[in-house]
Amino acid sequence: MHGIDEGKWLAFLDGEGCEEVERHLRTCEECSETLQQLRACQAALRLEASRLRDAAGTSEARIEQMLDACLDELAGRAWTPQQATLLLRSLLEPFCGAGAAQTLTELTMRRSTSTNQAFDSAGWRAFVGNLSQDVESICGSAAGRLVGRAGLSLAVENA
Ligand SMILES: [Zn+2]
């Protein structure tokens, strides 16, 4: 994005310092805004996921209710597949921890894409389906369903 390598953006979004990205953010309003929205969504998703984790009942209705609370923020814009994946990871973190969430999404991503090309929308849906299953078997069915629903609610565009 804007001449900065996607890998550098991802590392930065993951919390690694990067002078090139930081310098760009100081002068580019568009990227700063995207970053702020992404951070806000990550925080909202983490919060909703931890509420769900701590909730006694995890019925379908309850999951819908939790998701509605953060869908407004998610629906506001389209995300690149990388950004969307990062958002789904935020949702997983309260259930299985940051490290496992990262490993799980990376493994599923590798399994879901035969080439290294960007996702089209069918590819994204396939990834979300696989991730939902993988999450369900590791973190339980509530987390799996939550990730599946959230993944399909995200507007994903090709990077
Ligand atoms: Zn920019």
Residue 14 has pLDDT above 90, yes or no: no
pLDDT score at 68: 76
Tokens coding 119:
């996702």
Predicted pLDDT of residue 117:
57
Say how many Å lie between the CA of residue 38 and the centre of ligand 1. 14
Distance 117 CA to ligand 1 centre (A): 22
Predicted pLDDT of residue 137: 92
Q: Output the CA 77–ligand 1 centroid distance in Å.
A: 16
The rounded mean pLDDT for the chain is 85
Alpha carbon of 37 to ligand 1 centroid (Å): 14
The pLDDT tens digits for 33-66 are 999 988 988 888 898 888 888 876 667 777 777 7
Residue 26 CA, ligand 1 centroid: distance in Å? 9
Q: pTM here?
A: 0.85
Q: How far apart are CA 26 and CA 32, in angstroms?
A: 8
| Ligand 1 centroid to residue 122 C-alpha, Å | 28
Q: 27-31, 105-109, 150-154 — which one is most confidently predicted on average?
A: 27-31
Centre of ligand 1 to C-alpha 24, Å, is: 6
Q: Mean pLDDT highest for which of 25-34, 55-64, 118-127?
A: 25-34
| pLDDT tops 90 at residue 31 | yes
Give the per-residue pLDDT at 114.
Answer: 62
- Exposure string of 42-69, with b = 16+ CB inside 10 Å and e = fewer, is bebbbebbeebbeeeebeeebbeebbee
User: How far away, in angstroms, is 4 Cα from ligand 1 center?
Assistant: 8
pLDDT digits (tens, 9 = 90+) for 129-149: 999 999 999 888 888 988 998
Distance 16 CA to ligand 1 centre (A): 18
Distance CA 43, CA 72 (A): 14
- Cα-to-centroid distance, 135 and ligand 1 (Å): 33
Q: How far apart are CA 22 and CA 18, in angstroms?
A: 6
Task: Give the pLDDT confidence of 59-108 residue by residue, as tens digits.
Answer: 777 777 777 766 666 767 888 888 899 999 999 999 999 999 999 999 99
